[in-house]
């Protein structure tokens, strides 16, 4: 797969479009402008890689809208060296945005086929610092906790207790909560026992499902 001047041009436009929609964190805009999103899509969709749309990535899943990726990334307020847990690796696109923001990323995916495919793609693209895991995101990854932030990229029916427990004090959890549509929710752990909550409007994600799957 090549990254042509045309791709770079389309990407620059996409980054500008996202800035125009209200994303102000320039590091996030730069990451969107830098990462070749067409590498994450099946050949049938490559032509559309730089439209602000979600696309199928196999196993019934989708790569999130670039605007949604940017929106969630901004809410995380990542600083260089932050430990970040991602639930729902999917295509790996969001994972690479987190890496570009300087995060040390741990990412979990429950679909085995997707997990294998994305691992190959990220290795090929040399994003090897991100640690990918096949497992159930409801449980998080306790062995590397606590995290500076946690991002969930599938629609959660409720906020999983385990994820709250794996946040650092001062840490941020960005999670879309709901069934049909989801409300983007930011939880901040303000002390060992206390959490604050803010909401940011409606989004649409594929559902967060329980347990690992092989299909």
**Would you tell me which residues interact with ligand SAH (CB under 6 A)?**
61-64, 87-88, 90-91, 93-94, 108-111, 114, 136-138, 153-154, 206, 208-210
Tell me the closest approach of the beta carbon of residue 99 to ligand SAH, in angstroms: 12
Nearest to ligand SAH by Cβ — which residue?
90
Give the angle 73-75-78 at the CA atoms, nearest 5°: 65
Tell me the closest approach of the beta carbon of residue 91 to ligand SAH, in angstroms: 3
**Which one of 4, 64, 73, 126 is the catalytic residue?**
64
Tell me the closest approach of the beta carbon of residue 54 to ligand SAH, in angstroms: 8
HSE value, Cβ hemisphere, 13 Å, CA-based, for 112: 5
Structure tokens at 52: 């602000």
Tell me the closest approach of the beta carbon of residue 194 to ligand SAH, in angstroms: 26
CB-CB neighbours of 189 under 10 Å: 20
Active site residue 126: no
CB-CB neighbours of 16 under 10 Å: 13
Pure H helices in the chain: 5-20, 26-34, 66-76, 93-100, 112-124, 161-165
Distance of CA 85 to the CA centre of its chain: 9
Q: Which of the residues are catalytic?
A: 64
């Amino acid at each position: 797969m090549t990254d042509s001047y045309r791709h770079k041009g389309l990407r620059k436009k996409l980054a500008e479009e996202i800035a125009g929609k209200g994303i102000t964190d320039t590091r996030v805009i730069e990451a969107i402008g830098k990462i070749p999103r067409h590498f994450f899509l099946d050949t049938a969709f490559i032509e559309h890689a730089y439209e602000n749309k979600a696309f199928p990535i196999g196993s019934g899943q989708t790569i999130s809208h670039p605007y949604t990726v940017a929106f969630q990334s901004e809410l995380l307020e990542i600083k260089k060296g932050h430990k970040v847990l991602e639930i729902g690796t999917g295509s790996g696109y969001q994972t690479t945005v987190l890496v570009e923001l300087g995060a040390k990323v741990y990412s979990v995916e429950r679909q085995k086929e997707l997990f294998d495919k994305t691992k190959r793609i990220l290795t090929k693209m040399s994003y090897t610092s991100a640690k990918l895991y096949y497992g159930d995101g409801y449980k998080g990854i306790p062995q590397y906790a606590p995290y500076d932030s946690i991002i969930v990229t599938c629609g959660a029916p409720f906020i999983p207790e385990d994820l709250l427990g794996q946040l650092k004090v001062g840490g941020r959890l960005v999670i879309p909560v709901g069934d049909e549509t989801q409300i983007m929710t930011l939880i901040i752990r303000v002390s060992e026992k206390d959490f604050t909550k803010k909401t940011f409007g409606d989004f649409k994600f594929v559902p967060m499902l329980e347990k690992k799957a092989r299909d």
